[in-house]
């Protein structure tokens, strides 16, 4: 049995991509709108190679931004004891909305040990993250 799981979810947000991108790129505010993240800190600028720390419940992730295509894609690679997680954000215009897709892959011995439970957790995190992002973005007043 593979020790890698992958899950993806998409959501349509009734805002321009710029609004959504501004929320996603403000890493230090993730804990304010995302119930899956207790605390997030970006060390330095929001650019490829920058490091960040994500705290989610009992999990403490050390992460690095693997790639950015401003307003379109963001890849983040995270590690914690027994688990490696990749987060890939994909943003597209689907007139009149923005389509946001989040793909998460996880691997490591914890996935091997508790595969089904890990998949359930990842699915729940994807759902709550995208729903919360939609709620946050759609609250932003029109300019």
Domain boundaries of the chain, sorted by first residue: 4-139
CA–CA separation, 97 and 71 (whole Å): 14
**Taking the CB of residue 100, how many other CB atoms lie within 10 A of it?**
25
| Pairing relationship of beta strands 73-80 and 97-107 according to DSSP bridges | unpaired
**What's the confidence (pLDDT) of residue 94?**
81
Return the DSSP state at 47.
S
Return the DSSP state at 1.
-
**Which pTM was predicted?**
0.91
Token pair of 115 as six digits? 């595969």
CA–CA separation, 143 and 94 (whole Å): 20
Token pair of 22 as six digits? 């501004």
Q: What is the CATH number of domain 4-139?
A: 3.30.530.20
Predicted confidence pLDDT, tens digits, the chain (143 residues): 458 889 999 999 999 999 999 999 999 999 999 999 999 999 999 999 999 999 998 889 999 999 999 889 999 999 998 889 999 999 998 877 899 999 999 898 777 777 777 788 888 899 999 999 999 999 998 76
């Amino acid at each position: 049995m593979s020790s890698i799981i992958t899950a993806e979810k998409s959501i349509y947000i009734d805002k321009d991509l710029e609004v959504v991108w501004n929320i996603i790129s403000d890493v230090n505010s993730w804990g304010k709108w995302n119930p899956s993240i207790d605390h997030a800190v970006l060390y330095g600028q929001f650019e490829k190679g920058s490091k960040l720390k994500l705290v989610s419940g009992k999990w403490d992730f050390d992460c690095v931004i693997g790639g950015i295509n401003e307003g379109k894609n963001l890849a983040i690679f995270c590690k914690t004891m027994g688990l490696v997680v990749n987060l890939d954000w994909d943003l597209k215009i689907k007139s009149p909305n923005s389509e946001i897709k989040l793909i998460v892959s996880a691997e490591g011995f914890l996935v091997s040990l508790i595969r089904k439970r890990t998949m359930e957790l990842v699915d729940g995190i994807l759902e709550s993250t995208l729903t919360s992002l939609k709620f946050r973005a759609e609250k932003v007043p029109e300019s």
